[in-house]
Structure 1
């Protein structure tokens, strides 16, 4: 069995911004969320899911008010808590290529970098209306490009989950708790309603930021049906609860 560990890097207070996560719900409501990388350990395989973002980036690149941003730890500190260094990571699975998920990707020179081909194609020449991409973040990098669902190790694989972005992928991990899925679309647990995974008619709310609403819903349903538990990739709970499984 594998394990999932949250590596929180920054805490953000979104003033009146909840609807950026919960489409057409939560207007005018505050939302606390985090920037993360996720450490997945499957035997001798040390896998990082997403390459994070920083508090400094939030302030100086995206213009967030400094009093709404809190630095939590560096990526090195987060990995050191598990006895690891940057060079100990053998694979980085990128759920998508928005800037807040790839800030540190250039630091993993020796690691295999796995991304959906459709995501890389769009991110390399994004439409100007989508300001969450910056091609300079991925310039000069070599990627393992895949198409669709793929098993990565014995207990880890990816699900193709577009909608939030053209080529998003979520990461399933077989753990002692069951199959956990780290979402490849930006969400909080409220997106999945108040129920545990399993009901035939789930209470799903798609991400407020999306390129295709219908695909986003279908992808959420795919995650719901695959998971025993969902790891919502921006939920603030993991800032304190680092051990996911």
Structure 2
């Protein structure tokens, strides 16, 4: 196996792999990030953002908005496909396909708190096919973080390089007790995957294609290595995918904290950072699990943003 890195000219190059051994003993490819700025070009024509949903989660309100009630809420589980002339990008992937088959067997007792409802065809592989993208056509799988409702794409696209924050990858293998339920190791502990690790503030605003279409923004707090995404489209303009840095627009507007986080201080700082970006760019802000907002979006496979 090879690791793809970026040289000083921003070009992708192959280097020899080296293995690390997580606590399970499974070998993973790893390399500390050293990613220079890449040459800037104009936003590419022919770029499309497709917004999919792998069902819903049913949970108590206080699990979404800290200390705010016991009533049941139903929230969407989104993921995103970015079609780009330089390669297709899957962002997260929602729930794993196994959840639709036997959710308790795959997630365990987590389903007593976050109850997934998902159809057999509501997985990222089948949904990619619905817009003409086969598994071998995906170049990158980009992970906001490795929580169980985001890891549906890991290992499903055999030609894809997987990009994640190194802090998130390491934490997922050894989470603190209060966060352990958020990680399903079977989803990401997969041998032979081609991983690329980003380095927090050192690689902040990493521009995947060098054309400003997709930038990765380090936003810890919900998890130690969470990242959000600034997508810039030729016609629509900038879209800010907060992912779980802001579950809902109430989080983004400083009216609530998420019900699940590893650092309240980091979470608040990350929202402040995203608010500055939105103000500077004029981006449309899309929260991670806001049902009211989600219902008003253009949904794949019927529609997309260009």
Question: What is the aligned counterpart of 2:64 among 12, 21, 25?
Answer: 21
Is the deviation greater in 89-98 or in 54-63? Answer: 54-63
Structure 2 unaligned spans of 5+: 1-42
Structure of greater Rg: 2
Residue 223 of structure 2: aligned partner: 165
| Residues 153-232 of structure 1: pairs in structure 2 closer than 5 A | 153=209, 154=211, 155-175=213-233, 176-185=235-244, 187-192=247-252, 202-227=253-278, 228-232=283-287
Q: Distance in 2 between matches of 1:51 and 1:168?
A: 15
Structure 1 segments (4+ residues) deviating >6 Å? 65-68
Q: How big is the shift at 1:4?
A: 2.1
Higher relative contact order (CA 8 A, sep 6+): 1
The alpha-carbon distance between structure 1 residues 232 and 6, as it changes in their structure 2 partners (threshold 3 A), is same
Residue 290 of structure 2: aligned partner: 235
Q: CA RMSD in A?
A: 2.6
TM-score, with structure 1 as normaliser: 0.83
Q: How big is the shift at 1:204?
A: 4.4
| Residues 130-169 of structure 1: pairs in structure 2 closer than 5 A | 130=179, 131-139=181-189, 140=191, 141-148=193-200, 149=204, 150-153=206-209, 154=211, 155-169=213-227
Structure 1 unaligned spans of 5+: 193-201
TM-score, with structure 2 as normaliser: 0.68
Q: Distance in 2 between matches of 1:78 and 1:98?
A: 20
Maintained 8 Å contact 1:42/1:156? no
Q: Distance in 2 between matches of 1:124 and 1:95?
A: 16
Maintained 8 Å contact 2:124/2:152? no
Q: Distance in 2 between matches of 1:244 and 1:112?
A: 24
Q: Distance in 1 between matches of 2:220 and 2:102?
A: 26
The alpha-carbon distance between structure 1 residues 20 and 138, as it changes in their structure 2 partners (threshold 3 A), is same
Residue 10 of structure 1: aligned partner: 55
